[in-house]
Structure 1
């Protein structure tokens, strides 16, 4: 009889796996070298993640949950010290550049491999759809009308991701952050003019 999966152990493994992949990338991911690098047997990984696809799906969900937790911890609209949409965009950018740059690279690598047809499975489209829904909920909480929230969330996500890729590619922080400020101002305008 198989041992039940330990959710806390799974989260610890995901943190270690994300750290490894942030350093080594995902294009050549193989469970055996990954397990060896983490000091585990392949069985430990397959016990918690039945397949490579399940592992990638779990990684994306894990990273998404981390970002949601950060945004959820920010003071919301209507609260003392509540942040504007633009402030939320800027706070997210600061986290990504100061703490999570290798993870941002990893996410864009995963998205790029999926766009190129080199990763099978529905996990990247699901992640992008879930991200759009989450951002739409944040927009709604800031007063963006229901009928516009998902469309504007999609636009905000795409522009934000494009700025990340521009920065990762060029390293031109000043120019990219000036554009980010413009994007944050646009997001703020959605709550004042809608």
Structure 2
């Protein structure tokens, strides 16, 4: 690989990280290349060269946010095929992560991108909402025993768990009332039902 190809790649990575930090503080809805370039020590012309156009930059930022989100979810250790912790415990642990104040910038960016993806399905945001739903359902599936994970009931339970987490997050971001929303999430977890053990005729908690 020549020096000419490695330098733009390194510069692109550097500017993407700087632009991502900017997006966490300022959002993406009203993103303008000129103020962004000025803030990160670049120029609109360089950004256009490295990312193609504004849509290309937005797509790169969304991919970067998704990578960050998946990495943080992975660090929670909720999905372990060898010893799944169960959907109820996983939902409570995931909520603790969502409710943490230091994650608000990333989650506000996630909600913004999720909403834009729904109203602009053919733009730079295309597919983001569906991808993030699939990401979270995959994490939740990894918390279930295989016998439940592969069943219609298991799919319904993790879909409900995701709905509870997403609804709680929207409420928390809107109101900041962590105590009330956390109490509601924990109450709903109690209504998810227990994981069925193999050979069991009914629901049992872990």
- Tell me which interval the TM-score lies in, with the shorter structure as reference length: 0.7 to 0.9
5+ residue gaps, structure 1, are none
User: Pick from 143, 146, 152: which aligns with 2:150?
Assistant: 146
Partner of residue 171, structure 2: 166
Aligned equivalents of 2:35, 2:193: Cα separation in 1 = 46
Distance in 1, matches of 2:13 and 2:191, equals: 36
Q: Tell me, in whole angstroms, the C-alpha distance in 2 between the residues paired with 1:16 and 1:170.
A: 29
Task: Report the aligned-residue RMSD.
Answer: 3.2
Higher relative contact order (CA 8 A, sep 6+): 1
Please say if residues 85 and 139 of structure 1, whose CA atoms lie closer than 8 Å, have aligned partners that are also in contact: yes
Q: Secondary structure, in 3 states, of the residue corresponding to 1:17? A: helix
| Partner residue, 1:48 | 50
Compared with structure 1, are the counterparts of its residues 161 and 78 closer, same or farther at alpha carbon in structure 2 (3 Å cutoff)?
Answer: closer
For 1:30, the equivalent position in structure 2 comes to 32
Distance 1:72 1:155 in 2: 21
Alignment of 1:118-129 (within 5 A): 121=123, 123-124=125-126, 126-129=127-130
CA deviations on 1:71-104 (whole Å, 9 max, x unpaired) are 2231643657x64333433333333423220221
Shift in alpha-carbon separation, 1:31–1:186, aligned structure 2, 3 A: farther
Secondary structure of the 1:72 match is: helix
Q: Would the aligned equivalents of 1:85 and 1:188 in 2 still touch at CA under 8 Å?
A: no
Residue 16 of structure 2 corresponds to residue 14 of structure 1: yes
TM-score (norm: length of structure 1): 0.76
The answer to whether the 8 A contact 1:132-1:153 is kept is no
Alignment length (residue pairs): 189
How far is the alpha carbon of 1:151 from its aligned partner? 5.1
Residues 92-147 of structure 1, C-alpha deviations (whole Å, 9 max, x = no match): 33334232202212222233344455x851635x2222223223333333223335
Unaligned stretches of 5+ residues in structure 2: 198-202
Matched, 1:189 2:191: no
CA contact (8 A) 2:114 2:129 kept: no
Indicate yes or no: 2:136 matched with 1:135. yes
